[in-house]
């Protein structure tokens, strides 16, 4: 099985965290997201423990909640000692509703609205990561109106492209996010902060990408950022106290993926931070990491009912399911690879190669192509693995499909953490 929490019981059914997927599909209907709380908590601990043990706890792991946002996930990560990243007023609202302390929230986004910034300042969010000069001006105005000083970080483009085979450090300035280093824009932004009396510049932030397996690009980002902090100290006499290195560690979607243990990733980055700081005699900064996918991705799977199997001779076999791009748009967006199983006969050999097609009115509505799968027929339960991140959070009501329920498993027992949307939910804002 792809991950150790997935097992097969005596009836040959797929189990997640000890819960039988075939029974779950019957009880809660399909499509259904199922998440394993033990896996989520273990991932939180892998990051958190290394931060405590190798960096004296001088930092914070913030769960990047765009990967999966709902009240229960904020409660879980908070109980594990993590903070949270949010990227919209809606995520911020959800986090606060769930009891995440405002000072442990980091607010990101390259295009936050005035209203969103006002909301964040009103709620005393701990760190707001500013992305452009207009935002700094808006934020200072809002902070002044409320008579507050707001803690700000600046999003920097460190010029590292981690998505190429051998990561390259180039002038990757063509991104909508952040301030570029090599054009002097980043240094100008640091200076600009000094002119705003209601902003307190806490430090710098970067995020080099997602689903990254090597640690070298993260370590290189840390070195680039600390060199820049040193340059700021030299030229402006400002010693910044915090460094936020973003998220991005990769997870295992298919057997051939071989991610490094998350704890090792963090400890490698911490080593790079220590070395870079030692090299220029810079005080060790308060460190933030923002893992999203790696906290929830491997913890989840999606259950579908097979509606029909359509074989086009000499072309391909479509396995058609009762969900699709409306609950998992990732294949349509970027050809993301997944593993699928027949949950009713999980240890039977995969003797077919299929395309899994969704129910949406789009030819591109596929969950995957060239996927090995047991021979299935209408009525079977299909499981698509490792869908805990960027599935529910990217789900839509396209074709007016109600969003599926999310069930969390703890000690083999399921509990619903998000109800399935009803048809009535779909029209509740319609006039």
The secondary structure of residue 32, as a DSSP letter, is E
Q: Which of residues 108, 157, 172, 223 is near ligand PLP by CB under 6 A?
A: 108
Question: Is 305 a residue that touches ligand PLP (CB under 6 A)?
Answer: no
Question: Is 158 a residue that touches ligand PLP (CB under 6 A)?
Answer: no
- Spatial separation of the C-alpha atoms in residues 24 and 11, rounded to whole Å: 14
- Part in contact with ligand PLP (CB under 6 A); list of ranges 1-9, 51-59, 73-81, 287-295: 287-295
Question: Is 388 a residue that touches ligand PLP (CB under 6 A)?
Answer: no
Burial of residue 139 (CB within 10 Å: 0-12, 13-18, 19+) is: buried
Phi/psi for 153 (5° steps) reads -120, 160
Q: Which of residues 24, 61, 64, 190 is near ligand PLP by CB under 6 A?
A: 64
Shortest distance (Å) from residue 292 CB to ligand PLP: 3
Element at 233 (helix H, strand E): helix 216-236
Residues 346 to 385 in contact with ligand PLP, rule: CB under 6 A: none
108 or 330: whose CB is closer to ligand PLP? 108
- Beta bridge partner(s), residue 352: 373
C-beta separation of 335 from 318 below 8 A? no
Binding footprint of ligand PLP, residue count (CB under 6 A)? 15
Say whether the peptide bond before residue 31 is cis (omega within 30 degrees of 0): yes
- Part in contact with ligand PLP (CB under 6 A); list of ranges 2-10, 41-49, 182-190, 286-294: 286-294
28 or 68: whose CB is closer to ligand PLP? 68
Phi/psi for 409 (5° steps) reads -105, 130
Question: Is 66 a residue that touches ligand PLP (CB under 6 A)?
Answer: yes
Question: Is 207 a residue that touches ligand PLP (CB under 6 A)?
Answer: yes
33 or 282: whose CB is closer to ligand PLP? 33
Site string for ligand PLP, 168-197 (x = CB under 6 A): ------------------------------
The structure tokens listed for 215 are: 């640690």
Question: Is 246 a residue that touches ligand PLP (CB under 6 A)?
Answer: yes
Judge whether 361 counts as a catalytic residue. yes
Q: Which of residues 151, 203, 248, 388 is near ligand PLP by CB under 6 A?
A: 248
Q: Which of residues 83, 178, 291, 368 is near ligand PLP by CB under 6 A?
A: 291
Question: Is 203 a residue that touches ligand PLP (CB under 6 A)?
Answer: no
- Part in contact with ligand PLP (CB under 6 A); list of ranges 60-68, 93-101, 178-186, 349-357: 60-68
C-beta separation of 128 from 110 below 8 A? no
The string of DSSP codes covering 346-391 is: TTS---EEEEEE-SSS-TT-EEEEEEEE----TT-EEEEES-SSSS
Return the closest-CA partner of residue 35 out of 408, 341, 303, 302: 408
C-beta separation of 331 from 370 below 8 A? no
Question: Is 294 a residue that touches ligand PLP (CB under 6 A)?
Answer: yes
Element at 141 (helix H, strand E): helix 133-145
- Spatial separation of the C-alpha atoms in residues 5 and 18, rounded to whole Å: 8
Question: Is 210 a residue that touches ligand PLP (CB under 6 A)?
Answer: yes
Q: Where in the sequence numbering do the catalytic residues fall?
A: 361
Residues at the interface with ligand PLP (CB under 6 A): 64, 66-67, 85, 108, 207, 210, 246-248, 290-294
């Amino acid at each position: 099985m792809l991950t150790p929490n997935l097992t097969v019981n005596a009836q040959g059914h797929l189990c997640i965290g000890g819960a039988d997927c075939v029974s779950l599909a019957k009880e809660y209907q399909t499509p259904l997201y199922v998440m394993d709380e033990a896996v989520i908590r273990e991932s939180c601990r892998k990051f958190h423990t290394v931060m405590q043990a190798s960096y004296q706890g001088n930092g914070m792991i913030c769960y990047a909640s765009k990967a999966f946002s709902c009240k229960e996930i904020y409660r879980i990560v908070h109980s594990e000692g993590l903070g949270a990243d949010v990227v919209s007023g809606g995520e911020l609202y959800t986090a606060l509703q769930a009891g995440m302390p405002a000072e442990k929230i980091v607010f990101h986004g390259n295009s936050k609205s005035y209203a969103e910034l006002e909301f964040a300042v009103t709620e005393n969010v701990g760190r707001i990561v500013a992305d452009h000069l207009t935002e700094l001006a808006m934020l200072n105005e809002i902070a002044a109106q409320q008579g507050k000083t707001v803690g700000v970080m600046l999003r920097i483009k460190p010029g590292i492209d981690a998505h190429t085979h051998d990561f390259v450090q180039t002038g990757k300035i063509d991104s909508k996010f952040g301030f570029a280093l090599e054009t002097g824009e980043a240094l100008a932004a640091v200076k600009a902060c000094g002119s705003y009396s209601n902003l307190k510049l806490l430090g710098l932030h970067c995020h080099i990408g997602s689903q990254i397996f090597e640690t070298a690009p993260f370590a290189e980002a840390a070195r680039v950022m600390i060199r820049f902090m040193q340059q700021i100290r030299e030229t402006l006499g400002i010693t910044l106290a915090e460094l936020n290195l973003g998220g991005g560690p990769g997870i295992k979607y298919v057997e051939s993926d071989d991610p490094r243990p998350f704890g090792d990733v963090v400890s490698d980055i911490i080593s790079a931070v220590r070395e870079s700081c030692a090299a220029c005699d810079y005080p060790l900064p308060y460190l933030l990491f923002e893992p999203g996918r790696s906290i929830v991705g491997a913890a989840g799977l999606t259950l579908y009912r097979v509606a029909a199997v359509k074989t086009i001779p000499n072309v391909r076999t479509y396995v058609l399911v009762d969900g699709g791009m409306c609950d998992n748009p990732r294949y349509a967006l970027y050809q993301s690879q997944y593993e699928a199983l027949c949950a009713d006969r999980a240890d039977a050999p995969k003797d077919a190669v299929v395309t899994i097609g969704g129910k949406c009115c789009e030819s591109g509505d596929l969950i995957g192509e060239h996927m090995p799968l047991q021979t299935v027929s209408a009525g079977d339960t299909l499981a698509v693995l490792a869908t805990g991140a960027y599935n529910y959070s990217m789900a839509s009501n396209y074709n007016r499909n109600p969003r599926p329920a999310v069930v969390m498993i703890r000690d083999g027992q399921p509990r619903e953490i998000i109800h399935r949307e009803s048809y009535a939910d779909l029209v509740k804002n319609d006039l």
